[in-house]
A and B are shown apart, each in its own frame.
Chain A
Amino acid sequence: MSDHLILRIVGKFLIPYILLFGLYVQFHGDFGPGGGFQAGVIFASAFVIHTLLFGLESAERIAPQWILKIVAASGVLIYALVGVAAMLMGGNYLDYDFLAADPIAGQHIGIILVEFGVGLTVASVMMLLFFTFAGRGEAS
């Protein structure tokens, strides 16, 4: 798509804002609508636009697949380990009350960490899916 000048310029202009909006949805999730699922998809969509405009190779330089795989796995691990942490601190699995001395602060810490894990996994899995499908076509 190197000859589509308008698309390239508009894309370059949009990508940072999409990323920023993704982060907003991610971290505002415990006060308003938002959360890891939506944020992860929005964040990944910026990379999808980048890939469409500048090609798969350029996108894979920014986010190589082996890193995405590690990020996807670590997101799940963050989620699971927050639950384990709550369990070790005396509560039930995923009982955020026990994560801090004050139960309300604990709930905040817990949900932010869990949604962070969800966001990491969703974003990286979405990118992996897109890269895998996009790369498959070129190979054949």
Chain B
Amino acid sequence: MSGLGVWNYVIIIFLMMIGLYMVMSSSNLVKKLIGLNVFQTSVFFLYISFGYIEGATGPVMQEGASLYSNPLPHVLILTAIVVGVATTAVGLALSVRIKESFGTIEEDELHTMDSSL
């Protein structure tokens, strides 16, 4: 861990906050999705950081290596990435259909069109 110190976690938290802020502050639906992706990616980095072991090689059996980094977080995050891709696809598909039926993807304009939102 000493190789990186805590800087990786600082960056992760920074990314996380950027992502959450984008989701909350932007009124464009696609920008919201981008923010959501940044937020999710920061969590992927968090997991990958957990799996890092100083001086270890990739988790594939090979000669001359005795220390392997932890493969489990990688596997978990591979799954989470797939989930993230699917979520983004559904979100984009919804934005396309919102654009087709409302004519806009700006949230404040959507609010004025349908007061009950």
Contact = CB atoms under 8 A, between A and B. Distances in A.
Interface of A: 32-33, 37, 122, 129, 132-133, 136, 140
B100 interface: yes
* A-B complex: 4 closest residue pairs judged by Cβ atoms: A129-B89, A32-B60, A136-B96, A37-B82
Given A133-B92, A133-B96, A33 B78 contact: no
Nearest to A41: B85
13 contacts: A32-B60, A33-B58, A33-B60, A37-B78, A37-B82, A122-B82, A129-B89, A132-B93, A133-B92, A133-B93, A133-B96, A136-B96, A140-B100
Contacts of B78: 37
Contacts of B92: 133
A123 to B, nearest CB: 13
Given A33-B60, A136-B96, 4 more contacts: A32-B60, A122-B82, A129-B89, A133-B93
Nearest to A122: B82
Among B58, B60, B89, find the residue whose CB has the most chain A CB atoms closer than 10 A: B89
Interface residues of B, number: 9
Contacts of A33: 58, 60
B33 to A, nearest CB: 13
Interface in B56-78: 58, 60, 78
B49 to A, nearest CB: 19
A30 B55 CA distance: 25
Contacts of A122: 82
A87 to B, nearest CB: 23
Contacts of A140: 100
Nearest to A140: B100
Interface string B82-94: 1000000100110
Contacts of B100: 140
A5 B74 CA distance: 40
A122 B79 CA distance: 12
Contacts of A32: 60
